Amino acid sequence: MKTTATPRCPTLLQRPSGHYDERPAGVAISLLVIHNISLPAGHFAPVPQQGSYVDALFCGRLDCNAHASFSSLQGVTVAAHCVIWRDGSIFQYVPFSQRAWHAGKSEFAGRANCNDFSIGIELEGCDNLPYTEQQYQSLVALSHYLMTCYQDISPQRIVGHCDIAPGRKTDPGPAFDWLAYRIALKESRE
Give mean pLDDT in consecutive 10-residue pieces for the chain, a chain of 190 residues. Answer: 60 94 98 98 82 93 96 96 96 97 98 99 98 98 97 98 98 98 96
Contact in structure between 129 and 173 (CB atoms under 8 Å): no
Tell me, yes or no, if 122 is annotated catalytic.
yes
pLDDT of residue 68: 96
Q: Kindly list the domain boundaries of the chain, sorted by start residue.
A: 12-188
Catalytic residue among 122, 133, 187, 190: 122
pLDDT of residue 9: 80
pLDDT of residue 49: 67
Side chain identity at residue 132, one-letter code: T
DSSP category for residue 56: H
- Other Cβ atoms less than 10 A from the Cβ of 90: the count is 20
Radius of gyration of the chain, Cα coordinates, nearest whole angstrom: 16
Q: CATH assignment of 12-188?
A: 3.40.80.10
pLDDT of residue 1: 37
pTM exceeds 0.85, yes or no: yes
